[in-house]
Chains A and B, each alone.
Chain A
Amino acid sequence: MRYAGHAVLAAVVLFLIGPFLVIAAAGLSAGDTLTFPPQGLSLKWITAVFGMENFRQSFVLSLWLAVGSTALALLFGVPAAYGLARYPVPGRDFMRSIVFTPVIVPGIIAGLALLRHAVIPLGLPVTTALILAHTVLVVPYAVRVVTASLEHLRTDVEEAAVILGATRTGTFFRVVLPNIRNGILAAFILGFVTSFNQVPVSLFLTGPGITTLPIDMLASMEFVYDPSIAALSALLALMSMAIVMIAEKMLGLSRYV
């Protein structure tokens, strides 16, 4: 029994990190075509991707998109989480489930719906559409993570502030916000990573010349056969892992998800 358990565990781990190892190995290839196992090891493709202009542009857009949409999502998400946690809003459970819906609806459907019913009818520019879509995508994470950290803050602490003379708004800024700071930071990191790696929603909304990095990579794969995509993928995966690991160390990110 024990050996069977270990075998299953090993299989799961292999299944989870195997793809990353294959990609990383392919990206470190010394050869000129994408193969596994790699034809010798070198860093030449890793260094090469930093020189590719199109990737540099889409990387910058993805970065801005991730930062901007996460910030916007928090601007809506934090007050929403607070309201849902503290006030007996009628239909609270219903609203909760609505806020959480995009987590359940597959991104590809959300992207298509946004394109058909918002972007095209309203004639939104590509960047606006992207920002909006990613914000909508990240809001549920923001609400969920901030809700979790609000549960650690006792309501009587807020009442104490009111009794000492603070208004409701004053209490929010002086007491609530400082105490959920780590939750907000955690939400920011999760939102950033989610937006940055997002494919399905962006797929429908990107246009010529304006595209996010993952979409750009997807498109390049159709006509580029060298290991640069693998090298870039490995780098991005490393970046995401590093961000999440640092956040876990500093904030205990796993408490919130």
Chain B
Amino acid sequence: MSDRNFLTIEKLTLAYGGTVAVKDLDLTIAEGELVALLGPSGCGKTTTMRAIAGLIQPRQGRIVLAGRDITHVRANKREVGLVFQSYALFPHLSVFENVAFGLRLRSVARDELEQRANEAIGLVGLKGFERRLPRELSGGQQQRVALARSVVVRPRLLLLDEPLSNLDARLRLEMRSELQRLQRDLGVTMIYVTHDQSEALALADRVIVMRDGRIAQQGTPADIYERPSSVFVAQFVGFENIFKAGQWPLPDERDIAALAWRPQAVVLGQGPHQGRVLGASYLGDAVEYLIETPGGLVKAQTPASARRFALDETVSLDLPLASAARLAGQ
């Protein structure tokens, strides 16, 4: 039976001098779970990871890992792995020695050390690169070394801080699925930090959206993608049409701050409202229109095979309540 409260963070407050970066953060992660921490740049993701790893001391709060309060345990005794955005490989050591670094510190016997290091190198697909120096590797390969170096010491918890953000788009997709496979094979509990919603949704069992040092929403990828609870989260996951309750075209609904539609949810060519086509961009499989309505601009997307609308044409449109996300707050 896996531990449902494998990592518990209580009322964590982190600050740099006078500026508070993370405020009263509460977080629980189950053993073996892959959690994505999603949020815009500057919202406190890195700061949170550094606190869990022990690189910064919290101003307030507690961090409990596997039943042990590690709030005041030194970083080198925490058994938490951290993969840096910049990889942070040891420039003077070969791939093998980078991976073996943690094992040497643990005085692992020579045979076992070689076997485990080679196994980790194989796991990330770098067999044959053992003797290379980091500067002789591509970004993707360096990332793999960083990963192997972290997992080889079998941390209880593995933190990854935007590990793919320095890679090009294709490599990012490839590494994303490799990460998933790795996590499944090793069963290691993982917190994956990213500012890219598609990465978070694709990878994680659970997504935690952060804003200004606090949690804005958490849930399954489907919860976040389909049922954002606030304007902030809705915007972040691609609801581009957001209208306040009471504002055109909405009735005044109680308990709801706003309604939001994705461009794909807007119906064009029929419906109770009228608008004027301001712009159209061809996206390959779809066409995106910018439409001026009495309530402001609406972004709509229709399949490329559907009827096309000309610039300045007046079109009917509908914003169906059934496909709207109901947002409770800002």
Minimum CB–CB distance from A29 to chain B (whole Å) comes to 51
Q: Is the CB of A165 within 8 A of B106?
A: yes
Residue A163 is within 8 A (CB to CB) of chain B in the complex:
yes
In whole angstroms, what is the CA distance A154 to B77 when docked?
Answer: 22
Q: Is the CB of A178 within 8 A of B76?
A: no
Per-position 1/0 for B123-158, Cβ under 8 A of A: 000000000000000000000000001100100000
On whether A160 and B75 interact (CB within 8 A), knowing A165-B105, A166-B105, the answer reads no
On whether A160 and B76 interact (CB within 8 A), knowing A165-B102, A170-B105, the answer reads no
Which parts of B93-115 form the interface with A (CB within 8 Å)? Answer: 101-102, 105-106
Per-position 1/0 for B61-90, Cβ under 8 A of A: 000000000000001111011101010111
Which parts of B269-306 form the interface with A (CB within 8 Å)? Answer: none
Minimum CB–CB distance from B93 to chain A (whole Å) comes to 8
Q: Is the CB of B101 within 8 A of A161?
A: yes
Q: Show 21 A/B contacts (Cβ-Cβ < 8 Å), sorted by A.
A: A153-B91, A154-B88, A156-B86, A157-B89, A157-B90, A159-B55, A159-B82, A160-B149, A161-B101, A162-B55, A163-B54, A163-B75, A163-B76, A163-B78, A163-B80, A164-B76, A164-B102, A164-B153, A165-B76, A166-B105, A175-B90
Which parts of A141-156 form the interface with B (CB within 8 Å)? Answer: 153-154, 156
Hey, which chain B residues are within 8 Å of A54, CB to CB? none
Q: Interface on A for B, CB 8 Å cutoff?
A: 153-154, 156-157, 159-167, 170, 174-175, 178-179
Q: Is the CB of A156 within 8 A of B76?
A: no
Q: Is the CB of A167 within 8 A of B76?
A: yes
On whether A156 and B84 interact (CB within 8 A), knowing A164-B153, A179-B92, the answer reads yes
In whole angstroms, what is the CA distance A161 to B84 when docked?
Answer: 12
On whether A160 and B82 interact (CB within 8 A), knowing A165-B105, A166-B76, A170-B105, the answer reads yes
Q: Interface on B for A, CB 8 Å cutoff?
A: 53-55, 75-78, 80-82, 84, 86, 88-92, 101-102, 105-106, 149-150, 153
In whole angstroms, what is the CA distance A170 to B74 when docked?
Answer: 14
Hey, which chain A residues are within 8 Å of B90, CB to CB? 157, 160-161, 175, 179
Q: Is the CB of A164 within 8 A of B88?
A: no
In whole angstroms, what is the CA distance A175 to B102 when docked?
Answer: 12
On whether A165 and B91 interact (CB within 8 A), knowing A160-B82, A160-B84, A170-B105, the answer reads no
Hey, which chain A residues are within 8 Å of B92, CB to CB? 175, 178-179
Q: Is the CB of B88 within 8 A of A156?
A: yes
User: Which one of A162, A170, A175 contacts B75 once the chains associate, using CB atoms below 8 Å?
Assistant: A162
- 11 other contacts beyond A160-B84, A161-B90, A165-B153, with CB at 8 A cut-off? A156-B86, A157-B90, A159-B55, A160-B88, A162-B55, A163-B53, A163-B54, A164-B76, A165-B77, A165-B102, A167-B76
Minimum CB–CB distance from A249 to chain B (whole Å) comes to 20
In whole angstroms, what is the CA distance A245 to B81 when docked?
Answer: 45
Hey, which chain A residues are within 8 Å of B102, CB to CB? 164-165
Hey, which chain B residues are within 8 Å of A170, CB to CB? 105
In whole angstroms, what is the CA distance A161 to B146 when docked?
Answer: 12
Q: Is the CB of B88 within 8 A of A157?
A: yes
Hey, which chain A residues are within 8 Å of B86, CB to CB? 154, 156
Q: Which of A157, A161, A163, A175 has the most CB of B within 10 A?
A: A163
Residue on B with the closest CB to A157?
B88
User: Which one of A156, A161, A163, A175 contacts B81 once the chains associate, using CB atoms below 8 Å?
Assistant: A163
